[in-house]
Structure formats: structure tokens, C-alpha cells
């Protein structure tokens, strides 16, 4: 059941109606049943994985809390981590390692081949396993209170707005809200609906419209040169931002309608002036997760310089591998690790002027580096990535056609519209400017915006990019 579908629209209305009609003490049952139904609408068999993970982490966390000795606490923590990582490995990484082992065996002359597993990657498995692991770790560290109510803990694991693609919520933020009584709040509900509409716009009007340009550039990279490939790479950067941040906006907005606040996951990342700032604005819930549970435990930057660089590289390579079982994702993560190491080394040696012109240079350089890394993220394999990079540096008049002029112009106008809105939002002028308008003008904007979504939306391309992770 996709956020940009009629099925979800009907499902969400039904959930909201029942939610505000029933007593607070029964609402967790409605949300849990709705979350299980939401997930089972993809492939009902994989609900078993979530239930198994929920049961293991519930009892492990309680055992950690009740244990008196540090050894016992660690034993149950390791059981939780091992269980979640084993499920993730089997369904997401088993074939990757098998293929590489088979290749290595062939390379040294052995004919034996390990058979691949015929498994379908469960939707959202990377997200909910990270969420439950962080809960067990936080209970072990004493940073969150153990949840004794099994139903509410199960809801924490499966809460439908953020189940499939985040934000990855922390237990000390989400669990208390699942216990809190929520009253009907008109302003909060309308705010949530507006955010859902903005997310839908970014998904169906921008991301899905750009997908055809991106597919041509990457799928035909061997037949194109120069500008079409560069434009296709830039369009993918915009596509993945609008696709994923659009999902996050819908998730956060839907949860806000239900009176539950989810953390902000994107903060206009392409306005960043360096790669460190980019990662403070992009997929915030995941970048903060890796900071708290990988980078800092490795020692962070509180170590000698070379070890600090090593910690950055390991963190980002693991982050890349989290995204997918392919060497292209590892290269993508490694590139961002290299960017950050280089940034730290440069800042330690030189001081740069804080002028507007230099800020423009910083922005352009950051955007270029991020787009270059996106090539490896989007490419099917290393061969396709290298072909696109090589051909984008060549220019041939015969190989410049990407798509029709009208489609390209429409896409650029819509991107400009979205960018102008985000610039106003970045400067904190959007809300005050909008609220200062008369009521009839605000409602005219609402209807015009819905008309833009209906008229310019591309509704046949429905899948969200991050569902594959």
C-alpha cells in the first residue's frame, strides 16, 4: 500500500475516523492492527519477521533491564543484535556474499559454486531492524525506559507512517507519545495534511516526472555523451531527494494528524555549503543513527587524527552497505567518507574568507561532489557507473538528445517552483508570508496546489526509491 495511492487515502481516512472516535486506552490496538494490515498489503508472509523481531527485542530489553550483572546484560544485548543482524544478513546480504565468494573461488580455479537463495527483500527491513536495535542498545545504556506493555512496543516497531522508509525513530521519543492521550487539534491536523500534500507534490510531480529522464541517461549511458548524461545525473539528485523527502513529509504529516510527532528527516540538503552540512540535512534520522551507534562507539574524533579519519571512512562505508548489497553502494559511502576526511584536513590547515562569492563556490563544489557520488548510488553496477562518467566527459552533437523539449521545460519550471518555495522556507519567510494573506487567497492557493498535483502528477510511476533498502 503506497502513500501515493487511493488505497492508502481510504485506509488513512478510516484510521483517523476510528482513532478520534474511540477511547485513548484502545487506540494502540487500532494503530497496531492498522500497521500490520499496512505492511501485509505488500507481502503478508513477511509480517512473521517483524513479529519474531518484536518478540525477541521485547524480551531481550526486559531481561537487560532486570539483569543484575553486567555480563548478563551484555548477553541479552548481543542476542538482540545477533537476531536482528542475522535476519538482515539472510534476506539482504546473503546473495551478495555468496556471489563474491563464488567469484573468488572461480578466480583461484575452483569450480565449486554455492547456490544463491531465492528470497525477496522484505520492504522496510533495514529501517525497522535499526529501530529495534537502537531500542535494545538504549535500554542497555540506561538511556531509555524499558516498555513493559508488549502491544505498545509492537506498535513502536511497526508504526505504519514510518515503518517502511523511516524516519528511524528513537524509543525515548516515540514510545512516550504512544502512551500520551491525544486530543483532536484542528491546527495540528491541517498542518499535517498540508505537509502530506507537499510530500505528494514532491513525489508525483517532481520525482516521478524526472524518472523518465534519469532512466534514459543511465540505461542508455553507452549511447549518450556530454550534457544529457550530466543533466540526467543532476536530475537523479533532485529525483531521489524529492522521492525520499516526499515520503518522509507524508509520513511526518500523517503522524502529525494522529497527534504523534516524528523527527524531521530532511532540511533542504542541497543548500549545504559543505559535505558535513549536507549530512546534517540529508536523511537526518539515519545519519544521526550511524553517528550515535557506529561513529561515536568507534571513538569518533576523540582519538588521534589517523584513527578519526579511519572512523569516518568505516562509518560511511557501512552506511553505504546499509543502503544495498552492491559494491556501488560501498563506493558511494566511501566517496562521502573521503569527502569528509578531506574537508577535515583542509579546515585544519587553511582558513577561507566568509564572502558571498566564496559561499557560492562552496555550494557549487558541494553539489557537484554529491551528484558525482549519486552516479554510483543509481548505477546498476560498476560498469554502468564508469561508462556514464567516461561518456559524460565527451561531447558529440549526434548523441545529445535526452527527451522532448516541452517535457524538459515543464520539468525545469516545476523544479524552479519547488526551489523557490524551499528558499522561502530556508529564510523562514514562507509561513509569515502565507499567513498574512486573506483567507480567500490562502484557499485559492490550496486549490491551485491540488490542481498542480492532479494536472502535472505522474501517477503511473508509484514505487518509492528507498523501498528497495
Active-site positions read 323
Q: Are 214 and 235 spatial neighbours (Cβ–Cβ below 8 Å)?
A: yes
Q: Quick one: DSSP state of residue 120?
A: P
CB neighbours of residue 126 within 10 Å: 23
- The CA-based angle 384-389-394, given to 5 degrees, is 120
Nearest CA to 201 among 469, 451, 463? 451
Nearest CA to 175 among 150, 193, 141? 150
Q: Quick one: DSSP state of residue 44?
A: G
The set of cell numbers assigned to 39 is: 505492511
The set of cell numbers assigned to 437 is: 494573506
List alpha helices for 89-149, DSSP H: 94-107, 125-141
Going 271 to 277 to 278 to 280, the CA torsion angle's sign is negative
Distance separating alpha carbons of residues 323 and 282, to the nearest angstrom? 14
Nearest CA to 375 among 240, 167, 236? 236
Burial (CB < 10 A; 0-12, 13-18, 19+), residue 8, is: middle
Q: Are 391 and 225 spatial neighbours (Cβ–Cβ below 8 Å)?
A: yes
What is the number of residues in the chain? 469
Amino acid at each position: 500500500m503506497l502513500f501515493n495511492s487511493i488505497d492508502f487515502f481510504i485506509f488513512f481516512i478510516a484510521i483517523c475516523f476510528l482513532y478520534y472516535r474511540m477511547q485513548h486506552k484502545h487506540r494502540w490496538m487500532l494503530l497496531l492492527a492498522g500497521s500490520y494490515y499496512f505492511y501485509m498489503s505488500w507481502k503478508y508472509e513477511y509480517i512473521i519477521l517483524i513479529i519474531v523481531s518484536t518478540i525477541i527485542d521485547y524480551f531481550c530489553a526486559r531481561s537487560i533491564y532486570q539483569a543484575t550483572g553486567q555480563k548478563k546484560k551484555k548477553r541479552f544485548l548481543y542476542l538482540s543484535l545477533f537476531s536482528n543482524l542475522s535476519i538482515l544478513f539472510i534476506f539482504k546480504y546473503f546473495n551478495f556474499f555468496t556471489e563474491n565468494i563464488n567469484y573468488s573461488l572461480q578466480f583461484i580455479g575452483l569450480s565449486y559454486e554455492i547456490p544463491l537463495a531465492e528470497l525477496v527483500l522484505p520492504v522496510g527491513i533495514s529501517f525497522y531492524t535499526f529501530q529495534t536495535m537502537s531500542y535494545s542498545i538504549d535500554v542497555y545504556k540506561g538511556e531509555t525506559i524499558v516498555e513493559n506493555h508488549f502491544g505498545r512496543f509492537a506498535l513502536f516497531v511497526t508504526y505504519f507512517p514510518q515503518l517502511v522508509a523511516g524516519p528511524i525513530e528513537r524509543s525515548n521519543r516515540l514510545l512516550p507519545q504512544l502512551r500520551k492521550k491525544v486530543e483532536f487539534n484542528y491546527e495540528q491536523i491541517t498542518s499535517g495534511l498540508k505537509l502530506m500534500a507537499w510530500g505528494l507534490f514532491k513525489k508525483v510531480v517532481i520525482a516521478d516526472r524526472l524518472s523518465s529522464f534519469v532512466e534514459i541517461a543511465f540505461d542508455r549511458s553507452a549511447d549518450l555523451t556530454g550534457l544529457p548524461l550530466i543533466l540526467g545525473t543532476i536530475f537523479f539528485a533532485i529525483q531521489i531527494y524529492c522521492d525520499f523527502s516526499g515520503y518522509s513529509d507524508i509520513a511526518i504529516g500523517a503522524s502529525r494528524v494522529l497527534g504523534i510527532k516524528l523527527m524531521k528527516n530532511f532540511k533542504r540538503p542541497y543548500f549545504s555549503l559543505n559535505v558535513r552540512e549536507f549530512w546534517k540535512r540529508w536523511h537526518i534520522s539515519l545519519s544521526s543513527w550511524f553517528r550515535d551507534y557506529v561513529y561515536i562507539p568507534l571513538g569518533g574524533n576523540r582519538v588521534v587524527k589517523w584513527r578519526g579519519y579511519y572512523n569516518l571512512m568505516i562509518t560511511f562505508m557501512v552506511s553505504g552497505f546499509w543502503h544495498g548489497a552492491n559494491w556501488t553502494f560501498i563506493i558511494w559511502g566511501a566517496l562521502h567518507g573521503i569527502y569528509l576526511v578531506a574537508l577535515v584536513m583542509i579546515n585544519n590547515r587553511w582558513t577561507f574568507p566568509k564572502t558571498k562569492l566564496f559561499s557560492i563556490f562552496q555550494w557549487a563544489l558541494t553539489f557537484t561532489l554529491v551528484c558525482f557520488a549519486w552516479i554510483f548510488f543509481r548505477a546498476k553496477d560498476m560498469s554502468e557507473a564508469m561508462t556514464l562518467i567516461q561518456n559524460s566527459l565527451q561531447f558529440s552533437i549526434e548523441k545529445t538528445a535526452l527527451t522532448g523539449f516541452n517535457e524538459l521545460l515543464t520539468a525545469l519550471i516545476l523544479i524552479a517552483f519547488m526551489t523557490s518555495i524551499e528558499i522561502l522556507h530556508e529564510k523562514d519567510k514562507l509561513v509569515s508570508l502565507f499567513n498574512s494573506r486573506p483567507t480567500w487567497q490562502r484557499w485559492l492557493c490550496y486549490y491551485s496546489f491540488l490542481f498542480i498535483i492532479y494536472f502535472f502528477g505522474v501517477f503511473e510511476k508509484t514505487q518509492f526509491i528507498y523501498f528497495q533498502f
